Amino acid sequence: MKPAFRSPLRWSQVTPRPLWLNRRSLIAGLGASALAGSALARDYPASRHSTDEAPNSFEEITNYNNFYEFGWNKDDPARYAHALTTDPWAIEIGGLVDRPGSYDLADVLKGQVLEERICRFRCVEAWSMVIPWIGFELAGLLNRVGVQPGAKYVAFQTLLRPGEMPGQRGGGIDWPYVEGLRLDEAMNPLTILATGLYGEEMPKQNGAPIRLVVPWKYGFKSIKSIVRITLTAEQPPTTWQALQPREYGFYANVNPEVDHPRWSQATERRISSSLFAGRQETLMFNGYADEVAGLYAGMDLSVNY
């Protein structure tokens, strides 16, 4: 079997130093709350790199976001997410598990190995980035709570708190945001729960304090600010599929051969400050086919989009 990642390469080796320093002072300015969450990101031993492409800058990753709980514009999350209270935080884990309950964040992290995962991230809207996440394999948590034999899917739910999430006071989406994976997708080593990026705790606009990252699927599967994880026998409803079933499916695997009804998925626009950045070809399963194509053997991917 091929290893899922190439040789270790830390983000600090691929990010210009002035950017790092700049960001350090920015985070220092956040004070106590940043310190309180520092265990979410700093103590990670390994860095695994699953793309040769250079990561996007911290500024790009934290200023161009989709987080509709804070508004529909790409700069709304950076503008409004600071109001989100992320401590205390707990995840209700239930359904077909041996040890259901409310796990506070420290408990969720207990025994899990945080590592850096530098990977491609491709939105269904056809823009993309490379992001150096900090996180741990979802499988580690699922194994700890004990998945029962009847479980076939994992359902996720985002926080519902309209007082702090202005987008939830408006229409368009049936809040809270929900997502789901097949159990074998959830158990794949590429699927992580991320608690940080660029070596620091997760910025609020990116889904603090803990969010899913499924690098071979369109970005909307990577649900942010998770408060509930439920193991189910039936395929759970997901926000975008419920909203526009013709345009967004349950699987949402990155696939350059299956177009969105309103645009092509063959190419993507890498978010970049360079004036010369053009479009690049989108890769099957976002470049992770060696690791995940086997999950879909025999399935018609144009039907199961």
Ligand X SMILES: Nc1nc2c(c(=O)[nH]1)N[C@H]1C(S)=C(S)[C@@H](COP(=O)(O)O)O[C@H]1N2
Residues contributing to the annotated binding site for Mo-molybdopterin: 65, 68-69, 123, 158, 206, 211, 222-224
Chain residue at closest Cβ approach to ligand X = 219
Q: Which of 143, 219, 235, 142 is nearest to 180 (CA)?
A: 235
Note whether 137 and 186 are within 8 A (CB). no
Task: Convert 229-272 into a string of H (helix), E (strand) and C (coil).
Answer: EEEECCCCCCHHHHHCCCCCCCCCECCCCCCECCECCCEEEECC
Note whether 131 and 62 are within 8 A (CB). no
Tell me which residue has tokens 């691929």: 14
Contact status: 157 vs ligand X (CB under 6 A): no
Contact status: 133 vs ligand X (CB under 6 A): no
| CB-nearer residue toward Mo ion: 70 or 136 | 70
Q: What are phi and psi of 242, to 5 degrees?
A: -65, -35
Q: Pick from 37, 55, 215, 219 the residue near ligand X by CB under 6 A.
A: 219
Q: Which of 219, 245, 215, 239 is nearest to 305 (CA)?
A: 245
How far does Cα 45 stand from its chain's mean position? Answer: 21
Contact status: 206 vs ligand X (CB under 6 A): yes
Contact status: 62 vs Mo ion (CB under 5 A): no
Q: Which of residues 112-131 bind ligand X (CB under 6 A)?
A: 123
Number of residues that bind ligand X (CB under 6 A): 16
Alpha-carbon span 74 to 63, nearest angstrom: 7
Q: Pick from 123, 131, 155, 202 the residue near Mo ion by CB under 5 A.
A: 123
Shortest Å distance, C-beta 255 to ligand X: 16
Scanning 22-30, 59-67, 246-254, 280-288 for contacts with ligand X by CB under 6 A, the matching segment is: 59-67
Length of the chain equals: 305
The DSSP output letter for 117 is E
Alpha-carbon span 304 to 297, nearest angstrom: 12
Q: Pick from 23, 117, 204, 224 the residue near ligand X by CB under 6 A.
A: 224
Shortest Å distance, C-beta 298 to ligand X: 29
Alpha-carbon span 280 to 116, nearest angstrom: 25
Contact status: 151 vs Mo ion (CB under 5 A): no
Shortest Å distance, C-beta 66 to Mo ion: 5
- Tokens at 285, concatenated: 């399963």
What, of Mo ion, ligand X, none, does residue 177 touch, CB below 5 to 8 Å by kind?
ligand X
| CB-nearer residue toward ligand X: 147 or 181 | 181
Contact status: 249 vs Mo ion (CB under 5 A): no
- Tokens at 133, concatenated: 């996440």
> Binding site: residue ranges?
65, 68-69, 123, 158, 206, 211, 222-224
The DSSP output letter for 285 is G
Contact status: 219 vs Mo ion (CB under 5 A): yes
What, of Mo ion, ligand X, none, does residue 206 touch, CB below 5 to 8 Å by kind?
ligand X
Bond before 88 cis per omega within 30 degrees: yes
Contact status: 50 vs ligand X (CB under 6 A): no
- Tokens at 120, concatenated: 């491609």
Shortest Å distance, C-beta 149 to ligand X: 30
Apex CA 277: angle with CA 273 and CA 278, to 5°?
145
Q: Which positions from 255 to 294 touch Mo ion by CB under 5 A, shown as an x/- string? A: ----------------------------------------
Residues within the interface to Mo ion (CB under 5 A)? 66, 123, 219-220
Residues within the interface to ligand X (CB under 6 A)? 65-69, 123, 158, 177, 206-207, 219-220, 222-225
